[in-house]
Structure 1
Amino acid sequence: MDLGVCRNCGEFEGKCGCGRGKVILSAKDRIRVSKFLSGILRHFGRDFGISIDEEGWATVDNVLEVLKERFNIGRKQLELIVKFDRKSRFEIKNGKIRARYGHSIPIKTDWSESDEIPDLLYHATSPANIDSIMAKGLLPLKRREVHMCATPEEAFEVGRRHSKNPVLIEINAGEMRKAGIKVRKKGKIYTADFVPPEFLKIAGK
């Protein structure tokens, strides 16, 4: 959806309530910028001269220099991308910005925004991966962490990016934590360094 500002309604996504708001970033450009922002904060920021610290933070000004040159957008557009991101992929704090999850670059992943972790979490994957996962557990592979979702619906949404008919895996996060395995909440995603197979179950079986 488009992103914009309105004197009457404030910042908005799609259309403002009074219909007089000004769109400052089209839906098409929002997707392009969001994907690039994910890339520089998670994977290849140094290729664009962006310094990322051990907890994934980069300075907003540094990121804006790149976004301005590449997409001709400014601070307000960036702030709206972060504010209205439905998956809470980014956060801005004290003049810095980071991706909450999904990194392939070496950063400290052992931070959490909340201790409120559901007892059950979910992960959906291609049927071709099931035998390996149930035998070896969930591994982060190219990423730094395993990603899990709070609901089956959210897990299926992620899983369908890689498979037309993903298989839903139920994760006993409560027992994982009792066993001393850290589970972290990052935006709307939950992460762990590794999920051993004994905490996994194919949903419905």
Structure 2
Amino acid sequence: MPKDDRTLSKFMSLVLRHAPETAGLALDAQGWVGLDDLVKAAFERFGADRQDIERVVKESDKQRFVIDGNRIRASQGHSVSVDLGLAAAVPPPTLWHGTASANQAGILGSGLEKRSRQHVHLSADHDTARKVAMRRAGPWVIVQVDTKAMVRENYQFYCSENGVWLTDAVPARFLSVFETFSRPGRQGKD
């Protein structure tokens, strides 16, 4: 994604996930906003048009946004209250969470918490968790989540439109370190 598209994508994340008021917008109860309204706000700020927004939605490897007719929303990651209308789903037996190694002790001590977000975000595969981790300063850790055991204890999971698995919390007893690494391509316990 070109630099200007990254800037536009960050703006869209801010507006559609965290602070719609910064662009003079309001999300509906399901997190949708009028596409024309977002285009107007993006044009005023960056000179971006509808094609620019549609390109960001289509070409984003994270697929954070979805367009439905003349409305748009973020697929997950909201810190504002929205109901994405996701039905509970049975996850694969193992899910993954990638983060900076600096977070490892806290995570293994108290589990994964949603904090200011509506859900904890989990990846369906180890490679995606690795990419997520590397968005932060390294070194990194990939934590394995025993979702099979969580389901047995009646924890609920949801799968967002872009394949991110969501849950309210992951207690520490369901977590184990799968991998630590400090450079891309280097695996194992550092």
TM-score (ref. length: structure 2): 0.85
8 Å Cα contact 1:122/1:149 also seen in 2: yes
Q: Does 1:167 align with 2:135?
A: no
Per the alignment, do residues 131 and 200 of structure 1 end up closer, same or farther by CA in structure 2, a change over 3 Å counting? Answer: same
Contact preservation (8 Å) 1:60, 1:95: yes
SS at 2:79's partner residue? coil
Aligned with 2:41: secondary structure? helix
The question of whether the paired residues in 1 share the 8 Å contact of 2:89 and 2:156 is answered with no
Once the two structures are TM-superposed, the CA of residue 127 in structure 1 deviates from its matched residue by: 2.6
Which residue identity lines up with residue 178 of structure 1 in the other structure? Answer: R
Letter in 2 for 1:92: I
Question: SS in structure 2 opposite 1:124?
Answer: strand
C-alpha deviation, 1:174, in angstroms: 2.4
Determine the structure 1 residue equivalent to 2:154.
Answer: 180
Map of 2:36 onto structure 1: 61
- Any runs of at least 4 consecutive aligned residues in structure 1 with deviations exceeding 4 A, and if so which? none
Query: In 2, distance between residues paired with 1:63 and 1:182?
Result: 33
- CA 1:135 to 1:42, structure 2 compared with 1: closer, same or farther past 3 Å? same
1:133 — aligned with what? 107
Q: Which of 26, 48, 54 is matched with 1:79 structurally? A: 54
Matched to 1:150, the amino acid is A
Task: Output the TM-score relative to the length of structure 1.
Answer: 0.79
Residue in structure 1 matched with residue 45 of structure 2 by the alignment: 70
* In 2: Cα distance, 1:149 partner to 1:131 partner: 20
* Matched letter for residue 19 of structure 2: F
Note if 1:156 corresponds to 2:134.
no
Q: Secondary structure at the match of 1:98?
A: strand
**Using the alignment, how far apart are the partners of 1:170 and 1:197 within structure 2?**
11
Alpha carbons 1:87, 1:188 under 8 Å: kept: no
Aligned residue in 2 for 1:98: 73
1:43 aligns with 2:18: yes
- How far apart are residue 135 of structure 1 and its match? 2.2
CA shift, 1:153, in A, is 1.8
Q: Paired residue for 1:107?
A: 82
Q: How far apart, in 2, do the equivalents of 1:35 and 1:49 lie? A: 16
**Bigger relative CO (Cα 8 Å, ≥ 6 apart):** 2
Report the number of matched residues: 179
**1:109·1:144 contact (CA, 8 Å) conserved in 2?**
no
Q: In structure 2, do the counterparts of structure 1 residues 29 and 127 end up closer, same or farther at CA, with 3 Å as the change threshold?
A: closer
2:63 alignment counterpart: 88
Amino acid at match of 2:43: K
One-letter amino acid matched to 1:174: K
The structure number with the bigger radius of gyration is 1
Unaligned runs of 5+ in 1: 2-26
> Secondary structure of 2:113's match?
coil
> What percentage of aligned pairs have identical amino acids?
31
Query: Structure 2 unaligned runs (5+)?
Result: 180-188
Q: For 1:202, what is the secondary structure of its paired residue? A: strand
